[in-house]
Amino acid sequence: MYSLFRNILFNFDPEGVHYFSMDVLRKASKIKWINNAIASQYQLNHSLLKKELFGLTFNNPVGLGAGFDKNAVYLNELELLGFGFVEIGTVTPKPQDGNDKPRLFRLPGDNAIINRMGFNNDGVEAVAKRLRERQNNLHHQPSTINGQFIIGGNIGKNKATPNEDAWKDYTFCFNVLFDCVDYFVVNVSSPNTPGLRELQEKSSLLKILSALQQINQGQSKPKPLLLKIAPDLTKEQIDDIIDLATAVNLSGLVATNTTINRQGLLASPKQIDSIGAGGLSGKPLRLLSTEVVRYIHRKTNGAIPLIASGGIFTGQDAQEKLDAGASLLQVWTGFIYEGPSIVKNICKHLIQ
């Protein structure tokens, strides 16, 4: 059923379809019997799926990666579809439009997406206001899932902020969102903001993460702080990040972001050239991200918790990541191609 629906949607602009689809779900789910039907169809609650990590209880280990619900608009709808957690953002201090359109491209033959969104978002204060309003509403309308729905905050810097001042953007976002999210992820690995990946170098990262941890440790209840890394790092660069994660006491790593690699794609070189720059996600990223997860897990003897992201479409893909050393999972492109049943299908496989 979804494959037919997807084939129709794939005839239209990817970014427009994204908002259209989620807005339809949002309106439909306001009708009680439809809401109940969706919950019955897509949610799966089982004691074997629950996961304790970072001092948080996840209803299941399948989350939605950052970039899908940048502005925390669709959290209720995504919870309804059975996700164990959702990472909002990437959020920046000031609102920004992102890169010029078109900036989101499908590669159906590769089960992949190329994006160069450029941290388009409403700005951290608008997002925090939306999250607080949701928290207030939940006091009057309990969640459809037993237990807490975990929300992560993925934070970044504005395009106009020079790298030497990047730490100021990250600390600003951290302070504003602190009471609104359950954990934080520092994004220095997107390929779509000029110069951002340079912040993955050890000295730049140390400045940002140390500033955040200084604020964090001053709180009565510090929040889990993670770092999202690129799949294109050398082993030496990953080793530096492991050393740094240990030194500043990070809670974990998200492995990985999108790749700038274009090798092995079925799409023609002409099509790839016409699309241009951007981060590649989906099936072609699966093995690359799994190898990064496996390398970090083995190098640290599992001492650093990992959220695995990249090429997860099926239960087998999810199990591969868990076997490599991941504790939690994030889907994104798989959600686009597999549809709303992806979480339940993965969870069924994990239970079995």
Catalytic residue positions, numbered: 190
Whole-angstrom CA distances from 3 to 326, 332, 333, 341 are 29, 17, 15, 11
Dihedrals phi, psi of 85, to nearest 5 degrees: -165, 160
Dihedrals phi, psi of 282, to nearest 5 degrees: 110, -160
DSSP secondary structure string, 10-52? TTS-HHHHHHHHHHHHHHHTTSHHHHHHHHHHH----GGG-EE
- Beta strand segments in 198-247, E: 225-229
Buried b (16+ CB within 10 A) or exposed e, 25-59: beeebeeeeebeebbeebbbeeeebebebbebebb
CA–CA distance, 125 with 336 (Å, rounded to integer): 29
**Residue 226 contacts residue 327 (beta carbons within 8 Å):** no
DSSP secondary structure string, 236-292? HHHHHHHHHHHHTT-SEEEE---B---TT-SS-HHHHHHH-S-EEEEGGGHHHHHHH
Whole-angstrom CA distances from 63 to 59, 160, 193, 257, 275 are 10, 31, 24, 14, 28
